[in-house]
Structure 1
């Protein structure tokens, strides 16, 4: 249980911690020790929890509940054999104690033996009237097994026994979403809301399902009801803002996002979307102000840096765009989108070496889009790095075999490098794939295009 302020349990905790600072051992009854241990475990204070368990068992050596806490700590520390021995001893004393089964199931789960964990938890169900936690644990084990239908059924049972178990409600909806059962989720939520019409969480989740199905007016109505149920529900204002933004009602969207800034600390998500809305409204100064606030609020949010960079890119202010994308790269040099923007901006500025470096970096980071290979190779041609361009396009062929755009480029390069047999091979391949792309030779390799031998090849039919 949780310790409140100025109550008996809080005094017990204070008394216990005072005792630890002295050599005087004070007496606590077993229930007081249980509350102390539970408090420390909840707050992750494992060392203090272990001290409380030891002192508790020194004073109450036969307490099953204190021994169960000891077993729980063993499991947490991965001392599974010690936990099994202790639980077997406790089972011999009290075979009807459901907590013993829960801890045994925990061991099976730690060993990835989830089916066995479920069997043990189902046995525990027969021993208690307090079934909500057990159904939740069974649901989680089914999630580990990717058995979402079974998981969903058990989380639903949690709600049948406790309609305010919102963690179970979230898990039910998670299962529906994983199974792409958005319509079924809507039916379930509407039934749930018939029983609990002022549940802001259910209205919020219903709105998300409608939004996923692009039923924006119904989504908006659901978020309205979520806000009526709880006018401080930040998530509902955020989602309502997203719907209004989608509907092109940018001023209303700004109003909703702005409410979240007043209810709690500003979130980078809200700031970014306010900036997006102001940009749509062509209020550039305000858009920039919120983009700037976004990157200051969360420098690690790539969407903020991307938004402000693209803003300047759209305005053709490439120097300013380059300034911001450089700042972004200094924070996260492994972000593919940053490097792609870096390359595009440098290309616009005719900084071809830097542009090529940017595209090379995106490839190094695993971005193998055809356009990246093509643009980088064309830049290498401009820079006179013909052999590097050949290597680039040959690598690209591994990912995009029988691609005419690559074959024409390789043909032009090999003819330029005075390797006519390879040039002929690739040109014939290219013409077989798509004759209409032959303009690539003319645009990138005009001198090669004008050669009689190449013109002769271009006029032949290789189908």
Structure 2
């Protein structure tokens, strides 16, 4: 059995239940279990990526107990989260025999939320909450909060969690309350609050892989990549084949430009999840940065075969594959990849920008300028598009051209935005450094640190130790010069 990090799935009681089920299934014997136990087994298989086994267990539950709440809830969640089909979810809900069960109440609320009827769902939950005896309210609060968390509505989560009596030690020290509150804080971008609570949970349960992974995720989103790597290592120590630990560690290493080590952990993750397009994309990115271009192309072609236009990674995969071909001196194949994206009606501005970049890589300057010019004219966000063009010139070693373009860019937008422009300064600092214009480098770096630390990290972060914050880059250089 896999160590999941979930207390129930890792418990002796569940192990016995699963062993009994699998013994009967493997022997071809009838399974005598209630629907709730079979749903737990299906949830376990789903959690561990064994989808066919999950389907077998849930189908058995429905055949043995048609109209039972828990297996129908499982199907309703499939309809909402996997199939995006609220109408099917309503039809499944109507099959429930017990219309007053907690499953029915929470499933109905979830379907309403999925249709955008958030206030109606809130009112429905509130009505049912008011009718409960006090000793049942805490469980209701946790379940309601978890629903809103699943639908990424953290403000609603906070509202429900704070309904509990904060002076009641059962509430104050409740692991469930703390866990859902930490998740909500992270979702709201209150990373320090989220990390603090996850650390409290780890202090109580230091062997919880789930909490170490949750802390690592919060640290990663807070751009504490070293901390995220360290926390993911604890998760891996607790479960040596933990895919979540592998992917979080790989992501942190990639952000620190440690491509060789990141590659190892993406590959370890892909041994467990071979068709994960996100991991394939980033394995390809590592290989490109390691100049293993042919290997990168093969990996990215696999990602391309898996992805769909609706995927959030579609464009990144096509873009990286085009870059890999371009760097491998195969501009025609790179352009072919962009033509494929264009045929699927992808954003024409983005396609023109990448085509321009490919043409620059092939030293076709006039054709590149034509593509870039068309992209800028078509763009609804000309400022960001112009900056993308400038970065393409820099990346293709047209540093003086990028410098001249940035001079015009900064003059124009500083005037247009009355001195409030925050973009382009870090890239100008980078160009000045390359051109040995060191006084200008310091001036632009100082400005960039003040107005746009995020751009600083992207543009010049590889020039500084990883423990130096982007807003401190200028002071770091100044202190170093003073010591010399």
Q: What is the TM-score of this pair, normalised by structure 1?
A: 0.55
Shift of 1:84: 2.6
Shift of 1:202: 1.7
Is 2:213–2:235's contact at 8 Å kept on the other side of the alignment?
no
Which ranges in structure 1 are unaligned for 5 or more consecutive residues?
A: 16-27, 344-367, 377-391, 402-463
Shift of 1:83: 3.6
Helix, strand or coil: the match of 1:95? helix
| CA displacement 1:87-142 (0-9 Å, x = unmatched) | 121135x5366124543797999794766544446879948x9966x554222332
Distance 1:135 1:125, change over 3 A: farther
Helix, strand or coil: the match of 1:90? coil
Shift of 1:276: 2.0
1:281 matched to which residue of 2? 328
User: 2 CA distance for matches of 1:66 and 1:258?
Assistant: 45
| CA displacement 1:194-244 (0-9 Å, x = unmatched) | 111112332222122122223333223333433444444443332232222
User: 2 CA distance for matches of 1:137 and 1:282?
Assistant: 51
Distance 1:304 1:143, change over 3 A: same
Distance 1:101 1:264, change over 3 A: closer
User: 2 CA distance for matches of 1:273 and 1:82?
Assistant: 47
Shift of 1:176: 0.7
Helix, strand or coil: the match of 2:131? helix
The structure 2 residue matched to 1:225, chosen from 258, 263, 268, is 268
- Decide which structure has the larger Cα Rg and report it: 1
2:59 matched to which residue of 1? 7
Distance 1:111 1:309, change over 3 A: closer
Is 1:306 aligned with 2:353?
yes
User: 1 CA distance for matches of 2:296 and 2:62?
Assistant: 45
2:11 matched to which residue of 1? none
2:408 matched to which residue of 1? 371
The structure 1 residue matched to 2:144, chosen from 76, 92, 103, is 103
Shift of 1:173: 3.1
Is 2:207–2:238's contact at 8 Å kept on the other side of the alignment?
no
Helix, strand or coil: the match of 1:137? helix
| CA displacement 1:303-331 (0-9 Å, x = unmatched) | 43212123335667566446645775787
User: 2 CA distance for matches of 1:341 and 1:149?
Assistant: 33
The structure 1 residue matched to 2:290, chosen from 244, 247, 271, is 247
Distance 1:160 1:286, change over 3 A: farther
1:148 matched to which residue of 2? 191
User: 1 CA distance for matches of 2:327 and 2:226?
Assistant: 32
Distance 1:334 1:139, change over 3 A: same
User: 2 CA distance for matches of 1:41 and 1:11?
Assistant: 22
User: 1 CA distance for matches of 2:72 and 2:279?
Assistant: 41
Helix, strand or coil: the match of 1:219? helix
C-alpha RMSD over aligned residues = 5.1
Distance 1:281 1:50, change over 3 A: closer
Shift of 1:151: 1.5
User: 2 CA distance for matches of 1:277 and 1:62?
Assistant: 57
1:404 matched to which residue of 2? none
User: 1 CA distance for matches of 2:317 and 2:84?
Assistant: 32
2:249 matched to which residue of 1? 206
1:176 matched to which residue of 2? 219
1:442 matched to which residue of 2? none
Is 1:244–1:253's contact at 8 Å kept on the other side of the alignment?
yes
2:428 matched to which residue of 1? none
Distance 1:90 1:268, change over 3 A: same
1:458 matched to which residue of 2? none
Distance 1:62 1:162, change over 3 A: farther
Is 1:290 aligned with 2:337?
yes
The structure 2 residue matched to 1:272, chosen from 294, 316, 319, is 319
2:301 matched to which residue of 1? 258
The structure 1 residue matched to 2:129, chosen from 72, 78, 87, is 87
User: 2 CA distance for matches of 1:131 and 1:331?
Assistant: 53
Is 2:209–2:235's contact at 8 Å kept on the other side of the alignment?
no
How many residues of Structure 1 are paired with residues of Structure 2 in the alignment? 340
